[in-house]
Amino acid sequence: MELSQLQIDYCMECGVCTGSCPVSKLMPEFSPRQIIKESFFDENANLVEERKVWACLMCARCSTRCPVEIDFPSFSRSLRIKALQMGNTPQETHHGIFQIVPRIQLMGTKQDRLSWAQETGSFKESGDIFYFVGCLPYYEIVFKYLNIPALDMARSCLKLLNLLGLEPVLSPQERCCGHDAFWGGDTATFEALARWNVELISSTGAKTVLFSCPEGYSMFRFQYPQLLGSLPFDVVYMGEFLHEQINSSGIHFRDGNNGAITYQDPCRLGRMAKIFDSPRELLALVPGTRLLEMGRNRHNALCCGTTGWIECSTISKQMQVERLNEAVSTGASTLITSCPKCQIHLTCAQENTSIKMDVVDIFTYLCSHLEQG
């Protein structure tokens, strides 16, 4: 992304971006304001060769507060594209498996993506509603050591849709949405994945595509249209769809036994897509549930500490522990999130700490409180 001359001229150097940045708080040498300044006014600066080009979380806490609307995550991504060309690569986590998998998918590998669905409920090969599952089948395998059944999110969504009398389309040919490749500067992989997924979904005749993962939702809603133009189907967040449908259905939930919960607003769903109410309204459908908000919530929510499976450092861990302590301080016993990565990161961060808090995805929480019969 290139900044407009107007943004460059009228940047007030107020420091709101750096003051808002959770990374800058723990890594003083990282400053969004200073990076922008160096990029345009220091001819000797060579940011694309520096490690700090990979430090940004892309959480948008800075850009949503910027008085002149500088989109720092997109600006940072433009630097990463150049950095990769220069041979400056990020530190990949989990042995780089989540960078490798999308590339293998594009080679035409056969995937066993639907065994969980066959054991869970009913789905179709073609129809009006497509459920985009994303990378949950891979998370299920990689994060078994954390006892995180990542596919429970997908299982719960399928069960809820079936209870509404809906059989969504599921496809074994679905590919990664390209979120991590996009924000990591791997443009070629992102573009190939985007074209594949849109062509695949279009071939099923789907008019609506549902997303339980905020990252997939954000890519289809914001990034795919920039690359491919208007999409031939509607892009809908699963939480908004279920809230609207459940309200007019006969589905009921049993009492939550006055369970105190708190909620983590994912960056992509919250700040970027501005979806704050529907998750909370879904949670309110469970009688007896008490939602205790963390001090930083909605637009001001703290990121879970890393993105794109890169640069998971001590800084990330400090942020995650800080967020967990904030959740514990509410008095809640369970932390609900809408994002599989938030669930993974905030569960992982509890290792080697005294913090013991259940981190549960919102759809699994709803399913666990379904009234039987």
**Amino acid making up residue 81:** I
Nearest in space to 333 (alpha carbons), one of 343, 324, 320, 321: 324
Q: Express as a percent the part of the chain with pLDDT over 90.
A: 75
Residue range 250-368 in CATH 3.40.50: yes
At 136 the pLDDT is 96
Tens of pLDDT, residue by residue over 311-357, are: 888 889 999 999 999 999 999 999 999 999 999 999 999 988 999 99
Cross-sheet strand order for the sheet of 208-211: 129-132, 208-211, 234-237
**Phi and psi of 262, rounded to 5°?**
-130, 165
Exposed, middle or buried: residue 37 (CB in 10 Å: 0-12, 13-18, 19+)? middle
Which pLDDT band, with edges at 50, 70 and 90, does 6 fall under? low
Q: Express as a percent the part of the chain with pLDDT over 70.
A: 95
Q: Which CATH class is domain 5-85?
A: mainly alpha
**Phi and psi of 16, rounded to 5°?**
-60, -40
**Among 4-13, 271-280, 330-339, whose mean pLDDT is lowest?**
4-13
Q: Which residues contact 40 (CB under 8 A, 6 or more apart)?
A: 3, 8
DSSP string, 236-253: EEHHHHHHHHHHTSS--B
Exposed, middle or buried: residue 290 (CB in 10 Å: 0-12, 13-18, 19+)? middle
Q: Give the global pTM.
A: 0.94
Average pLDDT rounded to a whole number, residues 286-297: 94
CA–CA distance, 192 with 201 (Å, rounded to integer): 14
At 11 the pLDDT is 74
Higher pLDDT, 70 or 201: 201
List the chain domain ranges: 5-85, 94-244, 250-368
CA–CA distance, 140 with 223 (Å, rounded to integer): 26
Average pLDDT rounded to a whole number, residues 291-310: 93
DSSP string, 21-63: -HHHHH-TT--HHHHHHHHHH-TT--GGGSGGGG------TTT
Average pLDDT rounded to a whole number, residues 137-142: 94
At 42 the pLDDT is 61
- Which residues are paired to 336 by β-bridges? 263, 360
Average pLDDT rounded to a whole number, residues 160-167: 96
